[in-house]
Amino acid sequence: PKRFRVQHLAEAKARGEKLTMLTAYDAMTARIFDDAGVDMLLVGDSIGDNMLAHDTTIPVTMDELVPAVRAVSRAVRRSLVIADLPFGSYEASPEQAHASAVRMLKEGGAHAVKFEGGRRVAPQVELLTGAGIPVFGHLGFTPQSENILGGKRVQGRGDEAAERLAEDALALQEAGAVAVVLEMIPAPVAARVTEVLRIPTIGIGAGVECDGQVLVWLDMAGMGDWSPRFARRFAEIGTALRTAASDYVDAVRGQEYPGPEHSYES
């Protein structure tokens, strides 16, 4: 299959073709999602609360994320691999962001990076873009700032907040960002940002008018007991896996497994 590249982002938006993104944190799921035709795989810092048993994304380190990025990059044939920059790895300066992003490409094999924030990280976006590293922005509810934002809340409600969001999105575009993730903002606000931008918006809890959608794969596949309101559970993988494991336990205890077909003759 032909690789999905950052050049295809603006083309897809111009043609009105919706873009698809899922998170992936390992080779097995990455291969499945790549086979399924998902355009972009995000090795998100959501690895923290989803895979590493942290409460938030804030404790996630570069050293935890880089091996996951490498596993996903090795597994894909078509999907674009985007590495999140974790909390504390890019905010202080463009140089800090550059050092982190370079690790994601050189050690991780990522094709692009993503980090949170608007105007305040525009210098980071500009330096990385100039250095040959495509950048995805992330606005609206930005989990790394939850201590400032007062928890997991919808952002961009009201005219003033919506205006600030649009200005942040434009600042990212002007700095060279290739797309912007919009998380948990009212659908009409996301629609307006999508209209004013040349680059695509990728929504999560941001309505159907965004140029594409992203979900944490565990929420999409029903892996955990709970998914956020904005996620549709396209399967009940958690229940299927629990049933499989408990059937295995019963079969071993009941000596129904292994059967002759699973055993070697002398």
Q: What angle do CA 72, 76, 82 make, to 5 degrees?
A: 55
Q: Which stretch binds ligand KIV (CB under 6 A): 10-18, 37-45, 72-80, 165-173?
A: 37-45
Residues 40, 22: Cα–Cα separation, whole Å: 7
Count of residues that bind ligand KIV according to CB under 6 A: 12
Q: Is 183 a catalytic residue?
A: yes
Among Na ion, ligand KIV, none, the one that 222 touches (CB under a kind-dependent 5 to 8 A) is none
Annotated ligand binding at 73? The verdict is: no
Q: Which stretch binds ligand KIV (CB under 6 A): 12-20, 42-50, 98-106, 125-133?
A: 42-50
Residues 77, 51: Cα–Cα separation, whole Å: 24
- Which residue in this structure is represented by tokens 């129904």? 256
**Per CB under 5 A, which of residues 24..53 are in contact with Na ion?**
44-45
User: And the tokens for 143?
Assistant: 């989990």
| 112 in Cβ contact with 178 (< 8 Å) | yes
Centre a 10 Å sphere on the Cβ of residue 137 and count the other Cβ atoms it contains: 27
Closest to 204 measured CA to CA, from 50, 13, 20: 20
Distances from the Cα of 118 to the Cαs of 111, 168, 178, 182, 225, in angstroms?
21, 4, 14, 11, 33
Residues 91, 87: Cα–Cα separation, whole Å: 8
Q: Does 46 bind ligand KIV (CB under 6 A)?
A: yes
Minimum Å gap between C-beta 50 and ligand KIV is 8
Q: Does 140 bind ligand KIV (CB under 6 A)?
A: no
Annotated ligand binding at 45? The verdict is: yes
Out of 84, 128, 205, 206, point to the residue binding ligand KIV (CB under 6 A).
Answer: 84
Q: Does 81 bind ligand KIV (CB under 6 A)?
A: no
Out of 66, 68, 214, 223, point to the residue binding ligand KIV (CB under 6 A).
Answer: 214
Closest to 97 measured CA to CA, from 126, 68, 66: 126
Choice among 17, 126, 160, 183 that is catalytic: 183
Residues making contact with Na ion (CB under 5 A): 44-45, 84
Residues making contact with ligand KIV (CB under 6 A): 23, 42, 44-46, 84, 138, 181, 183, 204, 214, 216
